[in-house]
């Protein structure tokens, strides 16, 4: 009895002491969906997501006050951008197209082509700190940048998220990662059809397109499978690591399968010859909003992408010896092409784009604007 009283008291005391702590995050997922895997050292809280959201839209986070995460990841484009390849804060063009940020919380690996980047916290070190090429150019400007966030607004956001008002890069990275994880999208017409059993959510053309997508003729689902339309997934229901990287036959510079030297995909990380031209099959959720396409933005439209697969690759890439056996080319009628495009439009989630939590906070928390020298 006494022991029980003590334990009840302990619980009451614990609850009281938690009163001022951050609140656990509530995921907005369709019924029965697995919550994403969250690293133990960075639990999701509403307050961290709020701080991360403010930081995501803050240009003050780049060395010269020009570039926010949102400069390359635009909310209305499902957090991708219309440029084929992104341009960093110092004006240098990067080698890749900005990834859409959609259900990244479920991604098994991050970026277009890296098998070792598994946590968003790790990946964010690249845009923040990389210097070849510079994306935001934080390196050597850490103190200058932190001083810009020394305002009442950011102190209060930081205190709510971490218990005291000291902002540092560890906390910046944790908050940004939490915000990125909060960007979940499960309200497309496809979701209504597949997971909410609303039969009329997809049009007859979209239903035909869906059948083609999941057919052995077109093979799309082999690489863009699962509820996230990518084989690169990690969550409570999926313990198997599926093959996430493929050569789709975009290039063949030398007749032996070489991709352009500035970006050859997974081989640049693993140094394995057979990884030449291997890139991650990205999620196709909201893909109608994320043109141009592919790792280098080299295909302008969805029609272009589908014609590329129908041809079994592009130009000499069709005979790339490292090309996946699933990119074998197929005949299609114009109607079939349109049906497949319409199905891909059925993966657009308007509520994801309109969600005010995915846009800059109003009013924007103030920063101290200073020149960088």
Residue 352: which of 74, 4, 12 has the closest Cα?
A: 74
Give residues 177-196 in contact with ligand HEC (rule: CB under 6 A): 180
**For residue 127, what are the CA distances in angstroms to 70, 195, 224?**
12, 35, 26
* Dist. CA 36–CA 236, nearest whole Å: 7
Give residues 150-179 in contact with ligand HEC (rule: CB under 6 A): 176
* Dist. CA 366–CA 361, nearest whole Å: 11
* Dist. CA 246–CA 225, nearest whole Å: 13
From residue 78 to residue 107, the character string flagging contacts with ligand HEC as x (rule: CB under 6 A) and all else as - is --------x-x-----x-x-xx-x--x--x
**For residue 51, what are the CA distances in angstroms to 45, 153, 349?**
10, 10, 25
Give residues 285-324 in contact with ligand HEC (rule: CB under 6 A): 287, 290, 293-295, 302, 305-306, 309, 324
Per CB under 6 A, the segment of 6-14, 19-27, 123-131, 188-196 that binds ligand HEC is 123-131
* Dist. CA 100–CA 349, nearest whole Å: 13
Q: Which two tokens stand for residue 17?
A: 């002491």
Q: How far is the CB of 110 from ligand HEC (least distance, A)?
A: 4
Helices (H) and strands (E) in the chain, counts: 15, 2
246 contacts ligand HEC (rule: CB under 6 A): yes
Q: How far is the CB of 143 from ligand HEC (least distance, A)?
A: 18
- Residues 141 and 372 sit within 8 Å (Cβ to Cβ): yes
- Residues 265 and 275 sit within 8 Å (Cβ to Cβ): yes
Q: How far is the CB of 73 from ligand HEC (least distance, A)?
A: 6
326 contacts ligand HEC (rule: CB under 6 A): yes
Q: How far is the CB of 3 from ligand HEC (least distance, A)?
A: 48
DSSP, res 279: E
| Closest CB to ligand HEC among residues 6, 82 | 82
**For residue 348, what are the CA distances in angstroms to 141, 231, 281, 300, 373?**
39, 19, 18, 18, 44
| Closest CB to ligand HEC among residues 160, 176 | 176
Candidates 44, 51, 72, 202: give the one binding ligand HEC (CB under 6 A): 72
Residues annotated within a binding site for heme c:
69, 72-73, 220, 223-224
List Cβ neighbours of 314 (8 Å cut-off, separation of 6 or more): 249, 250, 251, 308
Candidates 105, 145, 189, 281: give the one binding ligand HEC (CB under 6 A): 281
123 contacts ligand HEC (rule: CB under 6 A): yes
Q: How far is the CB of 320 from ligand HEC (least distance, A)?
A: 11
Q: How far is the CB of 347 from ligand HEC (least distance, A)?
A: 10
- Residues 316 and 107 sit within 8 Å (Cβ to Cβ): no
341 contacts ligand HEC (rule: CB under 6 A): no
Candidates 120, 167, 266, 347: give the one binding ligand HEC (CB under 6 A): 120
The residues of the shown chain that bind ligand HEC, judged by CB under 6 A, are: 56, 67, 69, 71-73, 86, 88, 94, 96, 98-99, 101, 104, 107, 110-112, 120, 123-124, 127-128, 135-136, 176, 180, 218-220, 222-224, 246, 248, 250, 279, 281-282, 284, 287, 290, 293-295, 302, 305-306, 309, 324, 326-327, 340
């Amino acid at each position: 009895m006494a022991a029980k009283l003590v334990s009840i008291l302990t619980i009451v005391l614990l609850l009281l002491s938690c009163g001022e702590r951050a609140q656990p995050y509530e995921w907005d997922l369709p019924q029965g969906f697995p919550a994403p895997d969250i690293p133990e050292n960075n639990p999701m809280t509403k307050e961290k997501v709020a701080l991360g959201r403010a930081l995501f839209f803050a240009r003050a986070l780049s060395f010269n006050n020009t570039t926010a995460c949102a400069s390359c990841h635009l909310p209305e484009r499902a957090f991708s951008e219309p440029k084929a390849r992104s341009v960093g804060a110092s004006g240098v063009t990067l080698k890749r197209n900005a990834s859409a940020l959609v259900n990244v919380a479920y991604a098994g690996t991050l970026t277009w082509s890296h098998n070792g980047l598994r946590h968003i916290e790790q990946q964010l070190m690249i845009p923040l700190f990389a210097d070849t090429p510079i994306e935001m150019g934080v390196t050597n400007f850490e103190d200058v940048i932190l001083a810009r966030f020394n305002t009442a607004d950011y102190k209060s956001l930081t205190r709510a998220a971490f218990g005291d008002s000291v902002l540092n890069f560890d906390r910046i990275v944790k908050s940004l990662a939490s915000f990125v994880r909060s960007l979940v999208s499960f309200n497309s017409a496809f979701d209504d059809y597949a997971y909410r059993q609303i039969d009329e959510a997809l049009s007859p053309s979209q239903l035909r397109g869906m059948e083609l997508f999941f057919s052995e003729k077109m093979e799309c689902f082999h690489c863009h499978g699962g509820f996230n339309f990518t084989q690169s997934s990690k969550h409570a229901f999926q313990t198997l690591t599926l093959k996430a990287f493929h050569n789709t036959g975009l290039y063949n510079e030398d007749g032996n399968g070489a991709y352009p030297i500035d970006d050859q995909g997974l081989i640049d990380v693993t140094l394995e010859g057979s990884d030449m031209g291997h890139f991650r099959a990205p999620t196709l959720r909201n893909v109608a909003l994320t043109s141009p396409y592919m790792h280098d933005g080299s295909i302008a439209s969805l029609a272009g992408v589908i014609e590329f697969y129908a041809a079994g690759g592009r130009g000499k890439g069709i005979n790339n010896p490292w090309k996946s056996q699933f990119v074998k080319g197929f005949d299609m009628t114009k109607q079939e092409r349109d049906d497949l495009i319409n199905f891909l439009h059925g993966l657009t989630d308007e509520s994801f784009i309109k969600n005010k939590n995915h846009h800059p906070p109003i009013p924007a928390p103030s920063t101290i604007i200073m020149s960088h020298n």
